[in-house]
Amino acid sequence: MSKKLVSILMSVYDGDSPLFLRKSIESIVSQSYDNIEIILVGDGLTKLELIHEIEKLQEEYTIVLNYFPQDVNKGLAVCMNEAIALAKGDFMARMDADDIMHSQRIEKQLSYLNKHKGIDIVGSWIIEFNIDSGAEKLVSFPLTHEGMLKSFGKRNPVAHPSVLMRKEFFEKAGNYPINTKTDEDTILWLNAFLGGCKFANIEEPLTNMRVSDSFYERRAGFSKAYSDLKNRLKIISCLSLSGLNYLFAFARFVIQIIPSSTFTKFMYKNLR
């Protein structure tokens, strides 16, 4: 029996690093599972260094890497919906342009889905590594659908760049929402729960995610905090989660609007 095709969904924009993109692509083509395609959507790229790096990668990995540039920057959600429409795989995996897949990630996640036919999406634990300080942190997530649902009032149930989904996941959940300013994946997970999708995580890190000091700064400030609060309140209400989650949501909001990235770092390191 032939191996099922896995489509890796990625987007790249001018803020991405050519070096980090190369390392990310190399971690994908070095997977132990070899029947993959990469759908890389360019989100209004203008940086020549990045464009030239993509051209080099295409020459090196012609069979695997499919690049689809867009003239205008439209954001992650639009790029992901474009990638979904272009993907040919029976399974779809997410990946960011600066993260690293462990060599057996796709093989292990695909094996999990093949053994658990009722699961629509599987993530994993991750390792966050700070490119400024060099610090590494293991970030764990609940393993079962019930545990993930219960914790969703406080945090997302999966790390977005860590997931592998059946193609049918998007038939149940719909595409990425384009009517939210931030956290497109958060609302996608909400729609997936409401659509009857079943979630799981694998109890080991299978993706390394880069963070930096600017990562925390982007998550501070009133606009981001208010958007996060509205999304979290919607989740708690729509999924009828415990009322204690409201207290956590408002506490998180207060921490985010304090004008210091130190508090935001504390929140992301200790409250998720």
Per residue of the chain (272 residues), give pLDDT as tens. 468 999 999 999 999 999 999 999 999 999 999 999 999 999 999 999 999 999 999 999 998 999 999 999 999 999 999 999 999 999 999 999 999 999 999 999 999 999 999 999 999 999 998 887 778 899 999 999 999 999 999 999 999 999 999 999 999 999 999 987 678 899 999 999 999 999 999 999 999 999 876 555 555 567 778 888 899 999 999 999 999 999 988 888 888 777 655 555 555 555 55
pTM to 2 decimal places: 0.89
pLDDT at 28: 97
Sign of CA dihedral 99, 101, 105, 107: positive
Residue 153 to residues 49, 91, 119, 159, 203: CA-CA distances in angstroms? 41, 28, 21, 15, 21
Q: Decide which of 3.40.190.10, 3.40.630.30, 3.90.550.10, 3.40.50.300 is the CATH code for 6-211.
A: 3.90.550.10
Which of 95, 100, 120 is CA-nearest to residue 38?
95
Query: Packing angle between helix 222-238 and helix 244-257, nearest 10 degrees?
Result: 170
Q: How far apart are CA 41 and CA 11, in angstroms?
A: 5
For residue 128, the surrounding DSSP H or E stretch is: strand 121-130
pLDDT at 228: 86
